[in-house]
């Protein structure tokens, strides 16, 4: 299995956060965040022995989920 590597650009307003902080932002459990990291659903990077993501990644994930839900609602109502 090959590892998928992504380059992260964290802007001035975003910061690296732990899985626990990401869980609080997303409203899910910490184990769900780790599953999302593992599947690639939520991009992450490793610092020493811990996985991190960024506030910008979490905010982008929420925006995409909201857009997806809005699209599904429009399709169901059509």
Domains and CATH numbers, the chain: 16-77 (1.10.10)
5 pLDDT more than 80? no
What average pLDDT score do residues 39-57 get? Answer: 95
- Among the listed residues 45, 62, 68, the one whose alpha carbon sits nearest the alpha carbon of residue 19: 45
pTM score > 0.85 for this model? no
* Residue 1 pLDDT grade (very low, low, confident, very high; cuts 50, 70, 90): very low
- Among the listed residues 65, 67, 29, 36, the one whose alpha carbon sits nearest the alpha carbon of residue 53: 36
Average pLDDT value for the chain:
87
Query: Which H helix or E strand runs over 17?
Result: strand 16-18
């Amino acid at each position: 299995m090959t590892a998928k590597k992504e380059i992260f650009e964290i802007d001035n307003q975003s910061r690296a956060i732990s899985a626990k902080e990401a869980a609080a932002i997303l409203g899910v459990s910490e184990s769900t965040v780790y599953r999302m990291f593992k599947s690639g659903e939520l991009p992450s990077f490793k610092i020493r022995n811990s996985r991190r993501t960024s506030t910008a990644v979490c905010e982008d994930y929420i925006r995409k989920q909201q857009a997806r839900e809005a699209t599904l609602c429009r399709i169901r109502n059509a």
